[in-house]
Amino acid sequence: MNEFWEAKVALQWGTLKPSYDVVIIGGGGHGLATAYNLALRHGITNVAVLERSYIGGGNSGRNTTVIRSNYGKPEPVRFYQRSLELYRDLEAETERWMMHDERGLWWITHTEAGRRTEIARAEINRAFGADTRFAEPEEIEREIPGINMNPAGEFPVLGGSFHAGGATARHDRVVWALAEGAMRAGVDIIQGVEVTGLKVENNQIVGVETTQGSIATETVVSAVGGHATSVADMAGVRLPIRTHPLQAFVTNHYEGTFDAIVASIDLGFYVSQTARGEMLGGAHIDPQPSYSRRSDHHFISSIAKRITALFPFMGDLRVLRQWTGSCDMSPDYSPVMGRTPVDGFLITTGWGTWGFKAIPAGGEAMAELVATGTTPELIAPFSLDRFAKDRALADRGSSGTH
Amino acid sequence: MPELLHTLPVTRIVTTAAALDGASVPEDALVLRTAPDEALVIHAEAADPDAITIDDAHAIVVADAGWSGGWIPTAAADTFLDGNCSWARPIDRPAFAQGMVAHLPVKLWFEAERTLFVVPHVSAHELTHRLREGGIA
Amino acid sequence: MGGGARKVAPDPTSTNRCRTLGAVSDDTFDFAGRDITFAPGDSALLALTRHGIHPAGGGPLCFAGDCPNCLCTVDGISYVRACQTPAEVGVRIEPHPTNGEPPLPAWDTEAKTVAAIHRRADVVVIGGGESGQAARQQAADAGRIVELLDTNDGAEAIAVYPGPIVVARTADGMVNIECDDIVVATGAAEIQPIVPGSRLAGLWTPRAAAHVQAAGIDLGLTVAVGDVSDDAAATVVAPGELVRFEGEERLAAVITMVDGAEVRTEADNAIVGLGIHPRTGLARMANFMDVEVVGDAALEPTVPTCPSSGIACPCSNVTVEQLDDIYERGFTHMELLKRGTLAGTGTCQGSVCTPYLRSFLQDRGQELQPAFTFRPMAKQLTMNEIAAGSHLPALARTSLDSVHRDLGAQMDRMGGWWRPWTYGDTDAEYAAVRERVSLGDVSTLGKMILTGPDAEASLQRLFPTDVSTIKPGRSRYVLMLNERGYVMDDGMIAREHDGTFFLTFTSGGASMAEMWIRDWSASWGHDIRILNQTMSLGAINVTGPLAKELLERATDDDLPPFLGHCNITVAGVPCKVLRVSFTGELSFELHHPVDRSVELWTALMDLGADLGIQPHAIEALFRLRLEKGHIIVGIDTDYDSTPRRLQHEWAVNMKKGDFIGRTAIERTNRLALDKRLVGFRTEGRAPFEGAVVWSGSDYAGWVTSAAFSPTIGAGVALGWLEAVDGEFPASVTIDGLDAEIVSPHFYDPEGARPRA
Ligand SMILES: Cc1cc2nc3c(=O)[nH]c(=O)nc-3n(C[C@H](O)[C@H](O)[C@H](O)COP(=O)(O)OP(=O)(O)OC[C@H]3O[C@@H](n4cnc5c(N)ncnc54)[C@H](O)[C@@H]3O)c2cc1C
């Protein structure tokens, strides 16, 4: 299948100017969505997006594309639900097909404690607008094809939650559509420019140093997934973030008949079939912090074992490729968005293993913050100063893998 | 089928590296030095902490029933390890090594004719299962 | 062999127009329902070629595993190359669908176990051609242990991973070779034509043509185009530059350009020599180390002319026109060109299209681009093959595991252990504890000996309690805090008469606690000795109003007072007895060597038979402790649970010196309290666990643990109560019930029963 033909995205690259109202570092989903919203919602177009490689070349082009809002605390449920809803309209708004497919997500559990957690998840989700319900094993066996209800006799399926809003979309297409929209509105998006320094005077951002010279600006948004700490450091801002590798894999293409997105909490993986027919899977972050993007053997052989335990039929699928991204992990497994102690230096980070789903709402909120100078209520709980204020938003169980 | 693994008569030592260097243990005991300052002493008969002298007033020297082990003839052990041990094993004999084997924390004592597999008691069931899966009767 | 299948005679009109079948035997395999005869040593593709069958209907064939033009489904596994599948009796081969994708395997397909072998070598040489053999010899001469992997010898290198580990597929299973050095001698792939007509049958690379001719197959009127070696025999040579192929389904003529004019050469088959492209995939995959690349793999690749039309990427079916179009739309970066069209992302891993993509971009004024990042795997494996040698995560089993299973317990995975969730009648188990006496398996508790000159100093800095006031023979409940002042674990510290300490932690918390103590002590330069006995000591909790009566039958020694401990013999088994209560009843924890657990359990059950003894499992335990308001770290606590939020400030002594978390607590204590763990009481029934706490229509927290308490005669729950607009609500509803906010100590709040 050739995916270009259905959507004629056209990208018009900008050229670097000596000054901008807003400089966004990082041409991933979050940087581009922020630019897109600044231009289209707020009419702010004297904006540059600086990407050191190519757009989507970071995690936004290498994730497993799960969109969901089945989190465990009110604030994230609300935020991700907003994003999930924005995703529903994004294709129509940009007039670009993103292979968005809302087919529902199963989180399977194999323990009694897991049952309680999923019952609780369904409850808090419904309370804050996300469509999730608890499912008993009988329903799971009926609805998920090919599932082994008691892998190895040691992982009985004891239930799970079904999140009807769970969806997937093609990551590159999201990136390109947002880039195209921003470019059309006049934003300069420039590839192959790396930010090497930030100029701060009297605690106010005044400029950006790049591999192609200096740029004057009073507003910088750092959206450099995987490198948040090093870029923040350029402004003298320390972030409570650690970068861990996260790996994933796809198989070859098969007829698209496996309609479920399934995660097993205790077996520690998730899998879905893409619109193009590949089986796409992932697991937890690597435990050691690292900037390495090397894929390893342990990951692939261990996830293959776990997946084929729950889905024996997948044992006959041939794996095409595995890869790795760098995830900026916050201590409480929630994103960090908004102001920093340096005026004019804003961040959107801590996207860890879960930031693809957040692209529309993250971009919307960051743009609103830049445009109005006021932090939108939806993201106020995610501000950097929550750590100093002891208002962490721990939601590890909801954020773990995807 | 005979049990593959049995509770080993072990004395566990935690001390300083220097004291462990100078420790004296019964002649017929097997000493697995699991860390510079830690050892598992496998006695010939029953665990006997009192038979061990060590020059460290603070040393922990206790009988420890928490280890299961079994001797496996070299050929069978090697075949199993070829399939289940991803790290390079020592070539000299005798030799001690430890690490993940069949995804379980295993300590190995290699002799010319046989290999001793040692696991925490809590993993003995699982290791037995995996040894049998690997063709060891 | 299928009864209705027929043997296929060579078909003179078939797609290859081959004239001779070659020497075949009577053995057959199945291709799309037809029996295919083959010669010994044939690949499935060669056998099909003998019968004039192109498995994909068309497209140039390379016979070298480089292109995607002979993909088939072999014994249910799709995306397998016929050229790399040995022709064997009974194999079932289906052609790869020409339109669409192969189906997923049947839902009820079972997983197959594939063996894995781990080996070690000094050097791994990948590729057994001339240069590979030379490299092997050279390393062997230097006294190094060498492994040579070659597809033709049945050892196909699949990937190189950090380690370095080279993974190969062999007939006996997967082989993982850990090594120091790697020599890549993978040779070069032949560049395939992509001009219009390249999807016709009857096109061969020079090596492929030589291969089939050597097998005795006559390709009929054969035209050579481009640079064709002498090994492949052609009838005629088409002059000039290749323009296109003509024909319907199969080749009829080759069109070339000579001095600006098209020349048409009639042909049954064409041998197309467009140069070579080194197979550098594995070398690029190993870019984290210095690999030696030798032989053809080290050659400069030919940069072929990219035609203005034709299918550049057969895997993803991408035409040059499409490349052109998307390039014009700004997808000028090589990666964007790839992602925008999916060229290079298919089964052949860019082997066919990469040379053309590079020349395409060069033609448009870009520097010659390096090939894409090459990610594992170079050749594909099934998930079963990949899983070879891997195991599912194993759980620890206590020394009483078989006892629980024999009692018919529902076992549950918890904190890394198998634990009995219920023996089948949780209400009865609960009643046994409250009214009589019961045994519980608490072997999973973290257990540690800590000693050494600085043991007490370490504990003082690790824990928020004043350890100096724990007297020998006494123990105390402690919280383990992190630097943020958040509770990571809880447990007991017991001081022995000889000055050593015995520590317990929650199930599953032992390794973390051990690491925590070791790391901090080391950073303080403290001289300590620590022994983690979690796996060495079993523990049985004897609990209930008759617990003392039972134990007095089992020992002549004195039992410890509340929060005391001692080392005594119970039922002949040496035990460390801690008198602590989690159930709210009189309780004794008997820690003992794991090899005596069953003996101790059985003896106590026998001695307690007339007292109505009955064991209790986790579900009952959770209820019992809930009535007491005892928290479970990880269930009732959250990431940011400070002692203040947990209402456990009594466990923190701010009058002592520094301890981990102290600074954070001082700071956060100055902030307004935003949430606290409280008790909820409901009439009639309990809310479900996880239920949201509502203050009117405002969110005010959630329930962490709940159960109906027959003893209290009400629903009891622990949960988080959050401030709404800065105030803690006074009345809340949960799960449709009015809930009273109460002290979490529902049962025996004065704590008389465990002290009895
Ligand atoms: C394997 C994997 C699977 C995942 N699965 C999911 C999932 O299923 N669902 C989900 O919601 N999330 C998932 N994620 C997480 C998600 O991909 C990320 O959170 C999200 O893409 C982050 O977007 P971003 O724009 O913040 O960062 P990125 O997309 O990483 O973009 C940051 C960009 O900044 C550029 N950059 C860095 N430094 C500089 C500099 N100094 N100057 C200029 N440019 C710079 C980088 O080149 C990069 O392009 C997954 C991640 C991985 C790795």
**In a shared domain, residues B73 and B121:** yes
User: Residue B16 falls within a domain, yes or no?
Assistant: yes
Is the CB of residue A350 below 6 angstroms from any atom belonging to ligand 1?
no
| Per-residue pLDDT tens over the stretch A126-172 | 999 999 999 999 999 999 999 999 999 999 999 999 999 999 999 99
- List residues bridging with A328 in a β-sheet: A243
Mutation target for A interface from C334, C337, C386: give the one with most A CBs within 10 A.
C386
Domain boundary among A305, A326, A347: A326
| pLDDT at position C88 over 90 | yes
Domain boundary among A301, A326, A351: A326
Write the residue with the smallest CA distance to atom 49 of ligand 1: A58
C397-625 maps to which CATH number?
3.30.1360.120
**In a shared domain, residues A290 and A359:** no
| pLDDT at position C103 over 70 | yes
Number of domains in chain B: 2
Residue B46: alpha-carbon gap to chain centroid:
15
Beta carbons within 8 Å of C161's beta carbon, 6+ residues apart: A294, A295, A296, A297, C167, C376
Q: What residues of chain B have any CB closer than 8 angstroms to a CB in chain C?
A: 7, 12, 14-15, 58-60, 62-67, 81-88, 102-104, 120-123, 125-126, 130
**In a shared domain, residues B73 and B117:** yes
Write the residue with the smallest CA distance to atom 4 of ligand 1: A63
Write the residue with the smallest CA distance to atom 3 of ligand 1: A63
Under 8 Å CB pairs connecting chains A and C tally to 225
**In a shared domain, residues A237 and A262:** no
Contact C467, C459 (CB under 8 A): yes
- Alpha-carbon distance A29 to C479, whole Å? 42
Contact C617, C429 (CB under 8 A): yes
Contact check, Cβ <8 Å, A390/C383: no
> Which atom of ligand 1 is closest in space to residue A54's alpha carbon?
49
Residue C398: list chain B partners with CB under 8 A: 122
Q: Which of B10-24, C12-26, C36-50, C503-517 has the lowest mean pLDDT?
A: C12-26
Higher pLDDT, C549 or A3: C549
| pLDDT at position C484 over 70 | yes
Sort C688 into a burial class: Cβ within 10 Å, 0-12 / 13-18 / 19+: middle
Is the CB of residue A30 below 6 angstroms from any atom belonging to ligand 1?
yes
User: Residue A76 falls within a domain, yes or no?
Assistant: no
Domain that holds residue B124: 68-133
Q: Rounded to the nearest 10 degrees, what angle do helices C334-341 and C354-363 cross at? A: 120
User: Residue B1 falls within a domain, yes or no?
Assistant: no
**In a shared domain, residues B54 and B102:** no
**In a shared domain, residues A163 and A93:** yes
Domain boundary among B66, B88, B118: B66
Q: Which of C288, C329, C377 sits opposite A294 (nearest CB)?
A: C288
Residue B59: list chain C partners with CB under 8 A: 529
**A74, A169, A360, A362 from A79: Cα distances, Å:** 9, 18, 10, 9
User: Can you tell me whether residue A291 is helix, strand or coil?
Assistant: coil
- Alpha-carbon distance C121 to C179, whole Å? 5
Contact check, Cβ <8 Å, A318/C77: yes
Instruction: Give the DSSP letter of residue C403.
Output: H
Is the CB of residue A354 below 6 angstroms from any atom belonging to ligand 1?
yes
- Alpha-carbon distance C174 to C546, whole Å? 60
Determine what percent of chain C is predicted with pLDDT higher than 90.
90
Contact check, Cβ <8 Å, C530/B82: no
H/E stretch holding A142 reads: helix A137-143
User: Residue A78 falls within a domain, yes or no?
Assistant: no
Residue B64: list chain C partners with CB under 8 A: 533, 536, 593
Q: Which of C72, C75, C77 is nearest to C53 (CA)?
A: C72
CATH topology of domain C19-95: Ubiquitin-like (UB roll) (3.10.20)
Is the CB of residue A335 below 6 angstroms from any atom belonging to ligand 1?
no
Mutation target for A interface from C73, C75, C85, C104: give the one with most A CBs within 10 A.
C104
Determine what percent of chain B is predicted with pLDDT higher than 90.
92
User: Residue A232 falls within a domain, yes or no?
Assistant: yes
**In a shared domain, residues A260 and A131:** yes
**In a shared domain, residues A317 and A336:** no
| pLDDT at position A283 over 60 | yes
Residue A396: list chain C partners with CB under 8 A: 639
| Per-residue pLDDT tens over the stretch C110-130 | 999 999 999 999 999 999 999
pLDDT score at A277: 95
Q: Which of B67, B83, B122 sits opposite C396 (nearest CB)?
A: B122
Contact check, Cβ <8 Å, C381/A319: yes
Q: Which of A47-61, C497-511, C694-708 has the lowest mean pLDDT?
A: C497-511
User: Residue B41 falls within a domain, yes or no?
Assistant: yes
User: Residue A72 falls within a domain, yes or no?
Assistant: no
pLDDT score at C1: 30
**In a shared domain, residues B59 and B13:** yes
User: Residue A147 falls within a domain, yes or no?
Assistant: yes
| Per-residue pLDDT tens over the stretch A177-196 | 999 999 999 999 999 999 99
The pair of three-digit structure tokens given for residue C192, joined into one six-digit string = 């395939």
Residue C347: list chain A partners with CB under 8 A: 252, 320
Q: How large is the C-alpha radius of gyration of chain C?
A: 38
Q: Which of C176, C452, C593 sits opposite B86 (nearest CB)?
A: C176
| pLDDT at position C500 over 90 | yes
| Per-residue pLDDT tens over the stretch C318-362 | 999 999 999 999 999 999 999 999 999 999 989 999 999 999 999
Number of domains in chain A: 2
CATH topology of domain C304-367: Arc Repressor Mutant, subunit A (1.10.10)
| pLDDT at position C7 over 50 | no
Q: Within chain C, which residue ranges are assigned CATH 2.40.30.110?
A: 672-742
| Per-residue pLDDT tens over the stretch A71-91 | 999 999 999 999 999 999 999
Residue A258: list chain C partners with CB under 8 A: 104
User: Residue A71 falls within a domain, yes or no?
Assistant: no
Sort C696 into a burial class: Cβ within 10 Å, 0-12 / 13-18 / 19+: exposed
Is the CB of residue A68 below 6 angstroms from any atom belonging to ligand 1?
no
User: Residue A75 falls within a domain, yes or no?
Assistant: no
The pLDDT mean for chain C works out to 94
- CATH number of residue A160's parent domain: 3.30.9.10
Ligand 1 pocket test: pick from A356, A364, A395, A402 the residue with the most ligand atoms within 8 Å of its Cβ: A356
- CATH number of residue A353's parent domain: 3.50.50.60
Residue where the block lists tokens 């299928």: C2
Contact A314, A347 (CB under 8 A): no
Is the CB of residue A246 below 6 angstroms from any atom belonging to ligand 1?
yes
Distance between start and end Cα atoms, chain C: 81
| pLDDT at position C2 over 60 | no
> Which atom of ligand 1 is closest in space to residue A30's alpha carbon?
25
- Give ∠ CA C633-C634-C636 in degrees, rounded to 5: 70
Contact check, Cβ <8 Å, B60/C593: no
Is the CB of residue A208 below 6 angstroms from any atom belonging to ligand 1?
no
Sort A293 into a burial class: Cβ within 10 Å, 0-12 / 13-18 / 19+: middle
**In a shared domain, residues B54 and B73:** no
User: Residue B75 falls within a domain, yes or no?
Assistant: yes
- Alpha-carbon distance C716 to C699, whole Å? 20
Least Cα separation, residue C53 to chain A (angstroms):
24
- Alpha-carbon distance C283 to C269, whole Å? 35
Beta carbons within 8 Å of B75's beta carbon, 6+ residues apart: none
Is the CB of residue A84 below 6 angstroms from any atom belonging to ligand 1?
no
Dihedral sign for Cα atoms in the order B73, B76, B81, B82: positive
pLDDT score at C20: 56
Q: Which of C330, C345, C699 sits opposite A13 (nearest CB)?
A: C330
pLDDT score at C26: 83
Contact check, Cβ <8 Å, C390/A304: yes
Q: Which of B10, B134, B137, B130 is nearest to B69 (CA)?
A: B10
Domain that holds residue A229: 3-62+171-241+331-401
**In a shared domain, residues A236 and A253:** no
pLDDT score at C98: 84
Give the residue on C whose Cα is nearest the Cα of B129.
C394
Distance A26 CA to ligand 1 centre (A): 9
**In a shared domain, residues A271 and A310:** yes
CATH topology of domain C672-742: Elongation Factor Tu (Ef-tu); domain 3 (2.40.30)
Distance A32 CA to ligand 1 centre (A): 11
pLDDT score at C368: 84
- Confidence class for position A2, pLDDT limits 50, 70, 90: very low
When pLDDT is averaged across residues C677-705 and rounded to a whole number, the result is: 97
Q: Which chains touch B (3 or more CB pairs under 8 A)?
A: C
Q: Which of A338-352, C85-99, C220-234, C453-467 has the lowest mean pLDDT?
A: C220-234
Is the CB of residue A25 below 6 angstroms from any atom belonging to ligand 1?
yes
Count the residues in chain B: 137
Distance between start and end Cα atoms, chain A: 26
**In a shared domain, residues A11 and A131:** no
Distance A160 CA to ligand 1 centre (A): 29
Distance A49 CA to ligand 1 centre (A): 15
**In a shared domain, residues B42 and B93:** no
**In a shared domain, residues B86 and B62:** no
Q: Which of A51, A48, A36 is nearest to A191 (CA)?
A: A51
The pLDDT mean for chain A works out to 95
**In a shared domain, residues B46 and B59:** yes
| Per-residue pLDDT tens over the stretch C232-267 | 888 999 999 999 999 998 999 999 999 999 999 999
| pLDDT at position C8 over 70 | no
Residue A70: list chain C partners with CB under 8 A: none
- List residues bridging with C568 in a β-sheet: C575
Contact check, Cβ <8 Å, C414/A112: yes
Q: Within chain C, which residue ranges are assigned CATH 3.30.1360.120?
A: 397-625
Q: Within chain C, which residue ranges are assigned CATH 1.10.10.1100?
A: 304-367
Higher pLDDT, C14 or C635: C635
Contact A227, A241 (CB under 8 A): no
Q: Which chains touch A (3 or more CB pairs under 8 A)?
A: C
- Confidence class for position A38, pLDDT limits 50, 70, 90: very high
| pLDDT at position C13 over 90 | no
Is the CB of residue A69 below 6 angstroms from any atom belonging to ligand 1?
no
Residue C668: alpha-carbon gap to chain centroid:
39
Q: Within chain C, which residue ranges are assigned CATH 3.10.20.440?
A: 19-95
Instruction: Give the DSSP letter of residue C7.
Output: B
Q: pTM for the complete prediction? A: 0.95
The pair of three-digit structure tokens given for residue A329, joined into one six-digit string = 């992990």
**CB proximity C399 to B under 8 Å:** yes
Least Cα separation, residue A192 to chain C (angstroms):
10
Is the CB of residue A325 below 6 angstroms from any atom belonging to ligand 1?
yes
When pLDDT is averaged across residues A232-259 and rounded to a whole number, the result is: 96
| Per-residue pLDDT tens over the stretch C564-592 | 999 999 999 999 999 999 999 999 999 99
Dihedral sign for Cα atoms in the order C528, C532, C533, C536: negative
The pair of three-digit structure tokens given for residue C311, joined into one six-digit string = 């299918």
